[in-house]
Amino acid sequence: MKKYIRSPIVVVLGHVDVGKTTLLDRIRGTAVAAKEPGTMTQHIGASFLPWKALEKMCGPLAKNLRAEIKIPGLLVIDTPGHEAFTNLRRRGGSIADIAILVIDALKGVEKQTIESLEILKDRRTPFIIALNKIDRIPGWESHPGEPFVFSVRKQDEAAVVRLEESIYSVVNELYKFGYMSDRYDRIRDFSKTVAIVPISAKTGEGVPDLLLVLAGLTQRYMLKRLETEERPGRGVVLEVKEEPGLGKVLAVILYDGVIRKGDTIVLGGIEKPIVTRVRALLMPKPLDEMRSPEDRFMQMDEVKAAAGVLIATPKIEGVVAGSPVLVATEQDLDKIVKSVQEEVESLRIQRKGAGVVIKADTLGSLEALVSYVERQGIPVRFADVGPVVHRDVVEAQITKNEDRFLAAILAFNVKVTEEAEIE
């Protein structure tokens, strides 16, 4: 089988209003503005930035990369925040290869920054810090689109001192989590120190540095992880969505191998694994080729990792976001069904003794919630995906007899059935 290096999958996390969406828009906008052939390809739930475009965006900084670039580019997940990241799950970790944790230069580490750090640590996902909003530092003179290492030389001393105070505040907070960190241009060993890249998503300052560090780190430390071949594909359901003219479809991030039209796939379902066929593989058309909103997709015969793709399939009822999508051959179908069953079952909890009940809409949310609750020292009696039903109330009532303070149902993004409400 032919081996190749796939694109690293990049996700953006951070506190609310810290500038995650602005940063994503800036990266995509800069790529589109580069006007290179094949500058940026829109995937389902992600944007693919080829190395040629990244090189142009990094400008003179690209010369600092000593090694020949082997990664094809970066696949950046379009939806920022916890929820998208938790669904990018696989057994024992995340399919995201690296994360950008956005922190406000003026506010420092905030509540959701800490939650993001806990999730990243939980999933063992490497990350870099984008220290955003440097344009708001008192006295900072903005140089739109310029690399930070050039811009910082043009600042007066007082503005640089304020920036350094902001950096060291973040360094101290990260140290509490067991991470060594520093401004990226002062780091000698990136395997031991988290890179802090000062940026302004608004003006584009520092964004070239950020992309260069992302490309450099994944190239230097992740080539083995990124190596794949044309084997049966493995992916994860990002979401189950309704698409005009297509009905219900699966938005899938493919992180390994190849998926083809007509392939048999095994999906994680609420009740049991679902075995079905790929009826269609759809990718968005380039913006300049779209004739109308209904004409947004092109049919593909095959899709190689890493990619975001829509899958149309006859059996979709009961599929949950965060569940695995595995291509199966006739020979290994039973083995793969068993593997998917075990993976979904490993996230469900049913224990004796007092504890809270947890219900969530996706496997990713369920996994993250259980992990968070248990870290707070709260025992979990029962956990599953799906709406709150009569059985969940019964479980909480059993706990009430032992410990009334634990007789609670924690429901995330799910409905409460009528029978459960009556109970």
Say what the alpha-carbon torsion angle 57, 303, 366, 270 is, to the nearest 10 degrees: 160
Same domain, 340 and 371: no
Same domain, 13 and 136: yes
| Residue 328 near residue 253 (C-beta atoms within 8 A) | no
Pick the last residue of a domain from 227, 246, 281: 227
Residue pLDDT, tens place only, 252-276: 999 999 999 999 999 998 889 999 9
Give dist(CA 267, CA 250) in Å, integer: 10
Same domain, 282 and 358: no
Same domain, 24 and 98: yes
C-alpha distances out from residue 298 to 26, 138, 234, 253, Å: 26, 49, 22, 17
Pick the last residue of a domain from 345, 374, 392: 345
Question: How do strand 73-77 and strand 9-14 relate by DSSP bridges?
Answer: parallel
pTM to 2 decimals?
0.88
Confidence (pLDDT) at 289: 47
Same domain, 336 and 357: no
Mean pLDDT of the chain: 89
Same domain, 205 and 89: yes
Query: Considering its fold, how many domains does the chain have in total?
Result: 3
Same domain, 266 and 352: no
Residue pLDDT, tens place only, 86-144: 888 887 788 999 999 999 999 999 998 998 998 899 889 999 999 999 999 999 999 99
Confidence (pLDDT) at 40: 56
Same domain, 111 and 215: yes
The domain of 252 spans: 230-345
Same domain, 390 and 407: yes
Q: CATH number of the domain that 41 lies in?
A: 3.40.50.300
Residue 186 per-residue DSSP state: G
Task: Reduce the secondary structure of 234-300 to three states and give it as a string.
Answer: EEEEEEEEEECCCEEEEEEEEEECEEECCCEEEECECCCCEEEECCEEEEECCHHHCCCHHHCEEEE
Confidence (pLDDT) at 153: 96
Strand-pairing partners, residue 241, are: 249
Same domain, 129 and 204: yes
The 10 Å Cβ neighbour count of residue 282 is 20
Helix, strand, coil distribution of the chain in percent, nearest 5: 35, 30, 35
Same domain, 341 and 408: no
Same domain, 341 and 356: no
Residue pLDDT, tens place only, 293-335: 456 788 999 999 999 999 999 999 989 889 999 999 999 999 9
